[in-house]
A and B are shown apart, each in its own frame.
Chain A
Amino acid sequence: MVLAPGDEEETAEAILAANAEGRPLKISGSGSKANLGRPSIGEELSLRALSGVALYEPEELVLTAGAGTPVDEIEALLASRNQHLAFEPIDYGPLLGSQAGRGTVGGLVAVNASGPRRIKAGAARDHLLGFRCVAGRGEIVKSGGRVMKNVTGYDLSKLVTGSFGTLAALTQVTLKVLPKPETERTLLLIGVEESIGLSALRKVSGAPLEASALALSPKGAAPLRLDKNAAAIRLEGPEISVAQRLVDLRDLLKPFGGALEILDVVRSTALWRGLRDAGPVAELKGQVWRVSVAPSDGFAVVSALRERGTPILGHFYDWAGGLVWLCVQSAADAHASALRSVVDRFGGHATLIRAEADVRAAVDVFHPQPPTLAGLSKRVKESFDPAHILERGRLRAEF
């Protein structure tokens, strides 16, 4: 049976009752990310009915919506006023084998979604101004506000963002929205070794060019499907500014060799949409990992895995090398120990994004933490949800 409260009050009642009986609940929006994270147990609590934009003030750069509001609906509304969610949230649908465009805004916050523009504009965490929720005790709690700058009390927005519903059921979120750039262009540097392409990207990110995305697509990878590696650099802004920066960018890239090609707005948009949604690995058959490290370590992580003989079927780099997406040949342990031991050598974390449910139940989907930090995280969890009823098992086996 699915519990489907019609509003925040009913959500609170449902959680209050579940808490009293120690009955676990799985929180869902549209269910588009049901296969992300460890499999949780319990009755489904659907927040789908908590839908609709409650406030949108373009001049104030703010939007408030029920947690169940479809992201598509929000993006269309923003686009009508030339605005957008600047953190360019990934649509997990295609990668996880469901339809595109089904996610809800609550889910987007719950997984701290981001995209190629993360390096410049931040992730969902940097755009959540405030929220309302029902915590594990069944209490309605609000935090933050609707203004751009606010340090009143702890920044609980950061805590609930990326918590996968394990702290509270979000009922309403308030996001910072931003003007859409006037135009965009992407410059491809084609035919360079991966390591050279990545150092070109780091060079660009340290130059005053305001690149809004820096990725490296290995040869053959979707959606480019070139027969050579390509480093992709996106410039956004007013036409006149993009044109000038393209000139500067060409100069900067000269020493790296390779051919240069400019993608117009249409092709540029399509490329980054594909990369945002992890296109190069989504289409392959295998388990998918997402690794966040310092930009200069991305290549070293992949090399070290290759040296160990980890069967990598496909990969690409975003965030100037700081984000590595990997597709590996399916295995019962998803090669977790190889990945973790390599990533731990450099510092960072590896998350298992796509794998069969039994694999996600057996291995740590989220990067293990040292004991002190793990203990602290557990206490934080229990400060919201002492009986472990919300999304039990989703983040960690122990809660």
Chain B
Amino acid sequence: MPLLMPSPEPEILARRDELLARLSKILPEQNIIADETARRAYECDAFTMYRALPLVVALPDTVPQVQAIMAVARELNVKVVPRGGGTSLSGGSMPLEDGILLGMSKFNRILEIDYENRCARVQPGVQNLAISRAVEHAGFYYAPDPSSQIACSIGGNVAENAGGVHCLKYGLTTNNILGLEVVLMGGEIVRLGGKHLDSEMYDLLGLMTGSEGLLGVVTEITVRILRKPPVARGLLLGFASVEDGARCVGAIIARGIVPGGMEMMDNATVRAVERFQPCGYPIDAAAIVIVELDGTPAEVDHLVGVVEEIARAEGATTAKVSGSEAERLQFWAGRKNAFPAVSCIGPDYLCMDGTIPRKRLPEVLMGMDELATKHGLRVANVFHAGDGNLHPLILYDASKEGDSERAENLGADILRLCVAVGGVLTGEHGVGVEKRDLMGEMFNESDLAQQMRVKCAFDPSGRLNPGKMFPELHRCAELGMMHVVGGALPFPDLPRF
């Protein structure tokens, strides 16, 4: 079923000139993109299946400008879609035809680095990797490292609660930030947290993280920085079956070891990677697992020995230990290239993001194979194996009639399967528009109504990034009055876009 977005409101479209005039009082001319061709550059994020031309793109570079834009938006009742690096894989920053696209890319300064308190204050448009780059000379880094880290912004990471290969040991974005400055719809500003730990009242910092740009615009972030471990070594393990690989991952954790990273790829991905840029993966293996162990030299040597022993016991057909930093990076190179490599065999791919209880992996993979066959498509798999986060990459050809729709349907079936085994729709990419209509698979009406009421507490107008995350649009007044009985709403026929 094709995705429906809220239909553009004619009264807003009609007021475009007025909006432009108001914006030009707030921003210099070059920070307003009104021209159609230039606006096209913003018509989608990395979820490219759906596109929309934004009403106007505004690129503020000061917090008062953001506040003023949010105030005008409320006054004129115009929607606002925040955007960072535009790498969302769920359409979180997909524009609306009757909405301002609020680009935060000009907020690209690191404001303060405080080694004493091991934190940094940064603006939201700063690239994820730029934070680690800025502190690496002192031996520090920022732990969450999404594969998109050269392109995504820290503001977008906060909005999506982004993860990365090191999150197994060092946590997600939410575990690595201390403070936020947020501009609410209407222009009010709140500061949450700071350089200290935990909240004096409700943990709104935690709530904002992963809220997908629906609650407020993040204008400043205080991140924790960590000291780099003295050494890291990698193991490249090959297995004759995915089950063996999955069992090995479970056995490592059962032994009480939490590796710095633990990633798995299936044979389809391994082959794609080796064709794209060979890095020494065993192409006959049904699955490979990369394990990274970090810490002090003695500890790492010890743990490498233990993991090697576990791997052999679980039937590893290949077990290589990195002998140098170059070799460790080579083990990772293939993993880092997995998405581009797969897109070479695609030619297009849709990246799914379910998480499952790890032990269900073999049956989920089998189920996925069956579903792929049913839909007549192929799937390559990359997993954050340690935490059960799957990235099935559905291969399709957008130029082929019906292929996109088949890919979407297969994706939805795969996510349903994840939920059915006790997992979730999305581990790190967010719901956005992509998984919006599947929210009912995980949550009933009372669960969703409570989430929407929280949205109302922040944005009673419902104008901040609407059409994302929730499968239905309710007015806050309705939500306030309604009582959900037995998980079902009294108004089953409320508008769905």
Contact surface of A with B, Cβ cutoff 8 Å: 57-62, 82, 112, 114, 118-119, 122-123, 125-126, 135, 137-143, 145-159, 161-163, 167, 178-180, 182, 202, 205-208, 210, 237-238, 240-241, 243-245, 248, 292-296, 319, 322-323, 347-349, 351, 366-367, 369-370, 372-373, 376-377, 379-384, 386, 395-396
Contacts and interface: CB of A to CB of B under 8 A. Distances in A.
B200 interface: yes
Contacts of B469: 153
Contacts of A207: 227
A296 B454 contact: no
A241 B447 contact: no
A377 B116 contact: no
A178 B196 contact: no
B482 to A, nearest CB: 9
Interface stretch (B343-351, B362-370, B421-429): B421-429
Contacts of A179: 253, 255-258
Given A151-B427, A159-B206, 6 more contacts: A143-B451, A152-B425, A156-B207, A293-B195, A293-B196, A369-B200
Contacts of B298: 240-241, 243-244
B442 interface: yes
Contacts of A202: 116-117
Identify which of A118, A377, A386 gathers the most chain B CB atoms within 10 Å of its CB: A377
Contact of B207 (A138, A155, A319, A396): A155
Given A150-B427, A384-B450, A158 B357 contact: no
Given A60-B358, A149-B167, A149-B384, A139 B484 contact: yes
B254 interface: yes
A322 B480 CA distance: 40
B189 A178 contact: no
B115 A149 contact: no
B316 interface: no
B446 interface: yes
Contact of A210 (B163, B255, B295, B297): B295
Interface in B133-174: 139-140, 160-161, 163, 167-168, 171-172, 174
19 contacts: A126-B175, A143-B447, A145-B355, A147-B387, A148-B168, A149-B384, A151-B430, A152-B426, A154-B451, A156-B207, A156-B454, A179-B256, A208-B139, A240-B298, A319-B197, A349-B196, A366-B200, A373-B191, A376-B457
Contact of A154 (B388, B422, B454): B454
Contacts of B455: 154
Contact of A159 (B118, B189, B207): B207
B65 interface: no
A372 B188 contact: yes
B196 to A, nearest CB: 4
Contact of A208 (B199, B229, B302): B229
A346 B458 CA distance: 28
B211 interface: yes
B203 interface: yes
Contacts of B277: none
B257 A372 contact: no
Contacts of B188: 372
Interface in B180-209: 184, 188-192, 194-207, 209
Given A61-B253, A147-B357, A159-B203, A386 B480 contact: yes
B258 A377 contact: no
Interface of B: 114-119, 139-140, 160-161, 163, 167-168, 171-172, 174-175, 184, 188-192, 194-207, 209-211, 227-230, 250, 253-258, 295-299, 302-303, 355-359, 384, 386-389, 422-431, 435, 439, 442-443, 446-451, 453-458, 469, 480, 483-484, 487
A208 B296 contact: yes
A151 B26 CA distance: 35
A377 B296 CA distance: 44
B276 to A, nearest CB: 26
B357 A292 contact: no
Contact of B359 (A60, A126, A153): A60
A60 B357 contact: yes
A126 B173 CA distance: 11
A154 B211 contact: yes
Contact of A59 (B209, B250, B453, B480): B250
Contacts of B483: 137-139
Contact of A148 (B140, B205, B255, B387): B387
Contacts of A153: 431, 439, 442-443, 447-448, 451, 469
Determine which residue in A138, A243, A294 has the highest number of CB atoms from chain B within 10 A of its CB, and name it: A294
A158 B206 contact: yes
B202 A159 contact: yes
B302 A238 contact: yes
Contacts of A82: 256
A162 B202 contact: yes
A158 B229 contact: no
B357 A376 contact: no
Given A150-B426, A152-B425, A126 B171 contact: yes
A207 B228 CA distance: 9
B446 A140 contact: yes
**Those 10 A-B pairs whose CB atoms lie nearest each other, nearest first:** A158-B206, A241-B299, A179-B256, A349-B200, A294-B195, A367-B200, A379-B457, A148-B387, A149-B427, A383-B453
A142 B447 contact: yes
Contacts of A237: 295, 299
B427 A139 contact: no
A172 B387 CA distance: 22
Nearest to B303: A238
Contacts of A180: 256
Given A163-B202, A369-B200, A384 B299 contact: no
A21 B230 CA distance: 62
Nearest to B470: A153
B204 A377 contact: yes
B117 A294 contact: yes
Nearest to B211: A154
A158 B203 contact: yes
Q: Which of B167, B198, B429, B451 counts the most A-chain CB atoms under 10 A from its CB? A: B198
Contacts of A152: 424-426, 431, 435, 439, 442
A122 B169 CA distance: 12
Contacts of B426: 150-152
Nearest to B163: A149
Given A154-B210, A367-B200, A146 B161 contact: no
A349 B191 CA distance: 13
B399 to A, nearest CB: 32
A157 B455 CA distance: 15
B201 A135 contact: no
